[in-house]
Amino acid sequence: MTNSTQLKTIIIDDFHPVLLEQLKAYNLSFHYLPNLTETEALKVIPQYNVIVVRSKVNFTADLIKSLPNLKCIARGGAGMDNIDEATAQENNIILLNAPEGNRDAVAEHAIGLMLAISNNITKANKEVKNANWQREANRGFEIGGKTIGIIGFGNTGKSLAKKLCGFDCRILSYDKYAPSLDPNVAAVGLQELLSQSDIISLHVPLTLETKWMVDEDFLNQCKHQMVLINTSRGKVVNQLAVLEALKMNKLRGFASDVLENEKFETYTPVEMAAFKALSEFSQVVFTPHIAGWTKESYYKIGDVLASKLIDFTTNLKKY
């Protein structure tokens, strides 16, 4: 076993105690400083070899190049969009993440958003609380018998497909890099998925390739009155394009756990006006980036990341 004490490790974000417990069980030393501000973190991380983070620090190319001691960045989550992966690879820095930890939480949330749209749940809830009983106006539609398109068939896409099987629907998937091998899922081209899907659920990472992937051209290729679900990243979807599609009645609904800009205090007047216009549609549902934020996923992410860190620090030659 490699002497892992040679690696200095710092954890700069909050994690479930299971992460700390497992590292201690393997006698791995670390500093747990979750209350550091971003500015404070940037001052101390140059001395460390392994940095465990969620989203506190954005590891740009310049930052990575300024960290000569860095050997590994371990991110507690699925996405790696706060890390310049290309620069990390060029500098032989190992990147670890934990998509296995929140895949079920995100998949369940995606289904929840589908049901919220298909059954007018948020709209009806608001009406009833205002003593407004509107049954016919809230007549919904069933997911059973519909065609569901999953774009991105990694950990979360696979989990969603597994859960959807119980709804007796047809499942299509598109993933340029990992085509489905699931016998219950038909791997198809993107255009076929867009033209046939009644509901499309996005499960792709945010990259140069996927940024603004859902734009006017994308939506024009979709089946009329399609429902769009986004639990991936906000900038995968051009919200102005969605707004126009809703105005033209091309979309039946839009439900998103993420926004292009999730810091309302930084909105420009134009951004705020566009957001408010979207929010006025009764068939639009938003949640505050909580799809993967369950009590269970909090534990699982820590557990998964601990296993990967232990493997890395005790088997350095493998890397």
User: DSSP state, 49?
Assistant: S
Contact predicate 237/230, CB 8 Å:
yes
Contact predicate 258/290, CB 8 Å:
no
Which contacts (CB < 8 Å, 24+ apart) does range 155-159 have? 155/78, 155/99, 155/100, 155/103, 156/78, 156/99, 156/102, 156/103, 156/106, 156/107, 156/110, 156/203, 156/231, 157/203, 158/103, 158/182, 159/103, 159/104, 159/106, 159/107
β partners of residue 200: 149, 228
Q: Are strands 199-202 and 284-286 parallel, antiparallel or unpaired?
A: unpaired
Q: Reduce the DSSP state of residue 282 to 3 states and report it.
A: coil
Distance between start and end Cα atoms, the chain: 14
* Spatial strand order in the sheet of 72-75: 31-32, 9-11, 50-53, 72-75, 94-96
CA dihedral of residues 139, 198, 276, 138 (deg, nearest 10):
0
User: Sign of torsion, CA 293 296 301 306?
Assistant: positive
Q: What are phi and psi of 2, to 5 degrees?
A: -70, 145
- The residues annotated with a catalytic role in the active site are 233, 262, 289
